[in-house]
Amino acid sequence: MRIEATRRLRGPNVYLDRPVMIARMYMEDLGGRETHELPQFNHTLLTTLPGLADHHCATGGPGGFVYRLEHGTYFGHVTEHVAIELSVLIGREINFGRTVAAPPGYDVVIECPVEEPPDCRIGEDLLQLAADIVLEIIEGSTAPAVAERLAPIAERWENARPGPTTSAIAAAAFLRGLPVERLDDLSLLRIGYGRHRRLVWAAMTDSTSAIGVDIAGDKQLTRRLLADAAVPVPPGGIATTAEQALEIFRTIGEPAVAKPRHGRQGSHVHLGLRTADMVRAAFQSVVSAGESEVLIERQFAGRDYRVLMVHGQLVAAAERVPAHVVGDGMSSISQLVAVANRDPRRGDGHTRSLTKLSIDDAQLRRIGYTADAVPADGELVWLRANANLSTGGTSRDVTASVHPDVRDLCARAAAQIGLDIAGVDLRLPDISAPMAPDRPAADTCGIIEINAAPGLRMHLEPAEGPPRPVATAIMDALYPFDATGRIPIVSIAGTNGKTTVARLVAHTLSRSGRHVGLTTTDGIYLNGRLAQAADASGPRSAQVVLGDPGIDCAVLETARGGLLRQGLGYDWSDIGVITNLSPDHLGQDGVETMDDMVHVKSLIAERVRDGGTLVLNADDALVRDLIVRPRIRAAHKNLVWFGLDARSQLIERHVSNGGTAYVMSDGYLMERAGTVTTRLLPVTDVPGGFAGAARFAAANALAAAAAARAMGLAVSEIGEALASFDAAHDNPGRGQLFEVGGVHLLVDYAHNPAAIAAVAGLVETIWGTEHAVAAVTLPGDRRDDLIADCARAVADGFHRVVLYEDCDLRGRAHGEVAEIVRGEIAARRPELAATTVTTVAEAVPVALAMANPGDVVVILYEALGPLLEVLDTLGARAVTQPRELARLRAVSHV
């Protein structure tokens, strides 16, 4: 049993609406064997991991997996459940798993936490450990080691998982329905899409003042600004020598505090300094820690409080209690600390709601103890002088008790520093009592620090009192009222026409004044400018657009490959368009049949939000059937049909029931909304439509019109925008026409049987098949049967053929694809002689030499750039539309 390869799908996918890991597992000699064949296996497995007894499996309730074990299940399925149980044991809560046959092995699919960095490989290591444990039990082990092998993975998960503050903010965003993504293993969250995108790093936002952060990090400057604003702060000053420290101490009196000017998290803070020797020792301690400037200030009496301010509003307050243990009369202090640290709420650093306790020998000496001392039953032993949670302190919620004077003081202090989110540290006798401005600050109380990026742990899970929804308050400040943080998303999928429809929709929206982000198979476009040239039809490209703050709507061509290899690049779309479904890419990424392909493409329809619009092709039987798939929930979406068949019974029923459809009828593209029919554009003016000869162009325009109308554009806007689309310039490589020496060259990306047949139909309509030459290349990563189908489409549509090879052979040998095509053409039409060359640079001149004036050379290409260079070398002239094409059709050979 071995794991051959793994991959992660980061977005919604065909298995789950959350990230998953997929592992290809080969079972070798365990293939086909089941658990009931090994008498002791089930007992040992359940003894080793008793939590498996609670797994539901297919029965839908606890004990379901045990039932499957007892009645016989495959070992790939067992490994899936063991991996899930190991994950739960380390606090990595997941629920979903599935094992799918992928002969000669299995694909094991297991959920991954949304917040987990995809490159940390924790899920992969858990699955490997699960496979090892299962194999050991099969081989006779009665007690495979689990805890010691799980410990290092648990430690890595502890370090990789987000801290309480980041987790709480992400959870608050999810609760609001906001899209949120954690970047790598950082505490940085990207929330929202496009112009609503916000960045949050722990409890700092992209609105947090950099100046405010720097001021808060400088304790002396903070004191100065607050004092200038009549905010009570402890008297003190900065010392760079022990003598200066003592001079300040003599001025302010005791008790005093010594701490680094730029310290954080309570590190190297010395409290309760009452003598010159104590001040001198504290100063040296701070300097020894690498600090050159030491703040000496008066220590206020009273209790330690932290008040959290968000956009000027008090959202939580907590009393902070220093780290301590309570004696039992029998255990030593070190033993009491060990017991306290077994509390699952305590972790290292900021990973849990509480930090593990540690022993400060100097502090114990100050209170007359050692770590081996046994305090009396009920005796409090203070392990730290300061009350920071980062040194093991606890908190008690006092939000409801804060006096208005204190609230207003904290608001003024945060405003003085310039922080949108601030943690205000105070020492007061009682936070519920009014302030006393008429008494000297040194004798009373006040603010001792202001903190940027304050930790939220003490408010989320206080040791006493109710938790406070502080992360929700931050979300409400970033996205007030009912803001969704989203921009409209149009997702376009299908077999053919995706790129053209995406370009048409983006063009139409841009004409209406929208700032559009567009992804297609040729690149990423931001506000009409090419940002990156690449096949950009996958999730990473979608995330580029959705993460750009200059974009207010997104049009995303969404291809099969990205869905299967990485999942969707968004959580929900507002409009989903499926152009058509026909054979292509079968045999790749586990997609073997058209049923498999439909299942993959249907994800686009599934992820249209409730209340969104689903645009489907009424002329395509496979597309029509999508609406009965249970996960699509068509009843919860606005269903819009488009089609070229004006007599479609489906469309007639739909519009008679008050629905909307887009059809071609009486020489026009039409919108039919219930009883109202509105003309959009004459068919002869459809961009790239060859004056009406290219029916597939009309279908693309109808799909684009439906999407644009769903985006709220007026009918008049859509007609004008479609008419202004320059197919030669705005849709390069799709039905693009050139002319050289009286011979036309039609350039198209057709690379599957349906697309080739559509181009051949256009050629037949305008030029006639006998006047057509085809220069053809086909991608090598298609199955032989699909290449053969393409070859037959070429044979049916053209009288002369030139075959050439892709630059990227995609795993094929040189000449292999061309030979398959040549053989199929010969079998289909023996009289049709196919000429074979090597490159597109050779193919185009050879094809031109076969053509006569008035003929057309159809060039099916692999990469557009090299082809355009060849055409430029030959002096090819672009043929404009639509007038010249109308003339062309009028004088054609038809």
Q: What is the mean pLDDT of residues 402-411?
A: 96
Mean pLDDT of the chain: 90
Amino acid at 711: M
DSSP helix/strand/coil, 116: coil
- pLDDT tens, 429-442? 999 999 866 554 44
What value does the mean pLDDT take over residues 23-35? 87
As a whole number of angstroms, the distance between CA 844 and CA 835 comes to 12
Contact 85, 52 (CB under 8 A): yes
Pairing of strands 573-578, 608-617: parallel
Token digits for 505? 């929709």
**Average pLDDT score over residue span 21-48:** 90
Lowest mean pLDDT among 386-390, 461-465, 861-865: 386-390
Residue 153: predicted pLDDT? 96
For the stretch 276-328, pLDDT in tens is 999 999 999 999 988 899 999 999 988 999 999 999 999 999 998 877 788 88
Compute the residue count for the chain. Answer: 894
Mean pLDDT computed over 485-500:
96
Enumerate the H helices of 731-783 as residue ranges. Answer: 753-766
What angle in degrees, to the nearest 10, is found between the helix axes of 147-160 and 122-138?
A: 170
pLDDT of residue 438: 57
Highest-pLDDT range among 55-64, 497-506, 623-632, 686-695: 497-506
What pLDDT does 893 receive?
41
Using the predicted structure, report yes or no on whether residue 526 has a pLDDT greater than 80: yes
- Write out pLDDT tens, residues 559-614: 988 899 899 999 999 999 999 999 887 877 778 888 888 999 999 999 999 999 99
Mean pLDDT of 101-128: 90
- Residues 77-114 have pLDDT tens digits of 999 999 999 999 999 999 999 998 888 888 999 999 98
In 3D, which of 93, 100, 104, 102 has the Cα closest to residue 126? Answer: 93
CB of 403 closer than 8 Å to CB of 202: no
- Which amino acid, 831? E
Q: Over range 502-511, report the average pLDDT.
A: 97
Residue 305 in tokens:
């409080």
**Could you give the domains of the chain?**
2-160 (no CATH), 235-298 (3.30.1490.20), 489-730 (3.40.1190.10), 736-890 (3.90.190.20)
Cα-based distances in Å from 28 to 2, 3, 134, 476: 8, 11, 14, 55
Of 436, 545, 532, the residue nearest 489 (C-alpha):
545
Contact 328, 368 (CB under 8 A): no
DSSP H helices, 271-430, are: 276-288, 333-340, 361-366, 404-417
CA atoms of 107 and 490, how far apart (whole Å): 31
Sheet strand arrangement including 800-803: 834-836, 800-803, 772-776, 856-860, 743-748, 736-740, 877-878
At 86 the pLDDT is: 97
- Phi/psi at 652 (5° precision): -60, -45
pTM to 2 decimal places: 0.89
> Which residue is associated with the tokens 């950099």?
210
Q: Is the peptide bond before 853 cis (omega within 30 degrees of 0)?
A: no
Confirm if 560 and 479 have CB atoms less than 8 A apart: no
Taking CB atoms within 8 Å and a gap of at least 24, the contacts of 14-18 are: 14/563, 14/564, 14/599, 14/600, 14/603, 15/96, 15/98, 15/109, 16/96, 16/109, 16/111, 17/571, 17/607, 18/96, 18/111, 18/112, 18/114
d(CA 671, CA 657): 15
C-alpha 220, offset from chain centre = 42
Distance separating alpha carbons of residues 19 and 315, to the nearest angstrom = 33
Average pLDDT over residues 756-769: 93
Instruction: Judge residue 28's burial from the number of C-beta atoms within 10 Å of its C-beta, 0-12 exposed, 13-18 middle, 19 or more buried.
Output: exposed
Per-residue tokens: 736: 């693009």
CA-wise closest residue to 115 among 202, 200, 187: 187
Dihedral in degrees, nearest 10, Cα atoms 83, 85, 86, 89 = 160
Q: Are strands 743-748 and 856-860 parallel, antiparallel or unpaired?
A: parallel
Residue where the block lists tokens 């949120």:
180
Tell whether the model's pLDDT for residue 884 goes beyond 70.
Answer: no
> In whole angstroms, what is the distance from residue 811 CA to residue 450 CA?
62
d(CA 266, CA 307): 16
The 10s digit of each residue's pLDDT in 132-186 is 999 999 999 998 999 999 999 999 998 899 988 999 999 999 999 999 999 988 8
Q: Are 388 and 320 in contact (CB under 8 A)?
A: yes
For residue 689, what are the CA distances in angstroms to 15, 337, 370, 511, 695?
39, 79, 89, 20, 7
Phi, psi of 110, deg, nearest 5: -135, 135
Q: At residue 194, what are phi and psi to the nearest 5 degrees?
A: 55, -130
* Most confident listed range (510-519, 624-633, 747-756): 510-519
Q: How far is CA 304 from CA 299, 382, 431, 449, in A?
A: 11, 14, 9, 11
| Tokens (6 digits) for 352 | 């849990």
d(C-alpha 552, C-alpha 549), whole Å: 8
Other Cβ atoms within 10 Å of 241 Cβ, number:
11
Helical residues (DSSP H) of 643-692, grouped into ranges: 649-656
Which of 308, 302, 319 has its CA nearest to residue 442? 302
| Amino acid in position 459 | H
Rounded to 10 degrees, the C-alpha dihedral 255/256/257/258 comes to -140
Predicted pLDDT of residue 54? 93
